[in-house]
Structure 1
């Protein structure tokens, strides 16, 4: 089922997409958050990273290049990983930069600090 959905074998999906492109995607999300870039910029960068993943799986492992469903699924996975890393990094930055205003609510959000 995974091969029909992504157009990649399981080993290529885990090694190339999740490990290599996933790490690049999370680094991209952290970098965008640390430089106060808007969250919408993750989408075009994630699509480019998904296209790169498709090309590398084609060039290195002989997988199908123009597998539209695979491109969409892989790009969505990479965008979700980047969004997760973006939120965690933005939360860390807000708590570190404005400790008198915010405290960590969860790894993904901040809440206003209550007056003591």
Structure 2
């Protein structure tokens, strides 16, 4: 069984697959699909991440804890990107109705 490596998680999960998860979250929001789809696709993306950890860094393929850690990070990044893109789209598409009230939110124009 392999040990936890912060370098692997930082390099593979955050940089490589985190970028893919960010793009995935944006794509799902751009097509007005619901946020729960980020979870489904994020779990599939985490399988790819787990395989890269196994193939390149001799990780344990049967390690559920490493997979779950990767999946939580990937889904969190995807949900963040989804919400950020949705807030941008709501204000751009309905400028007479909404205004930005932060990075992840909008409010009714008053």
Q: TM-score range by the shorter chain?
A: over 0.9
Deviations 1:8-49 (A, max 9, x none): 422211110110000000100000001101111011101001
Root-mean-square deviation (Å): 1.2
SS at match of 2:14: helix
Matches within 5 A, 1:72-111: 72-111=68-107
Instruction: Name the count of aligned residue pairs.
Output: 109
2:48 aligned residue (49, 52, 58):
52
Using the size of structure 2 for normalisation, the TM-score is: 0.94
What does residue 62 of structure 1 align with? 58
Give unpaired runs (5+ residues) of structure 1. none
What does residue 28 of structure 2 align with? 32
Give unpaired runs (5+ residues) of structure 2. none
Matched, 1:21 2:20: no
| Runs of 4+ displaced beyond 2 Å | none
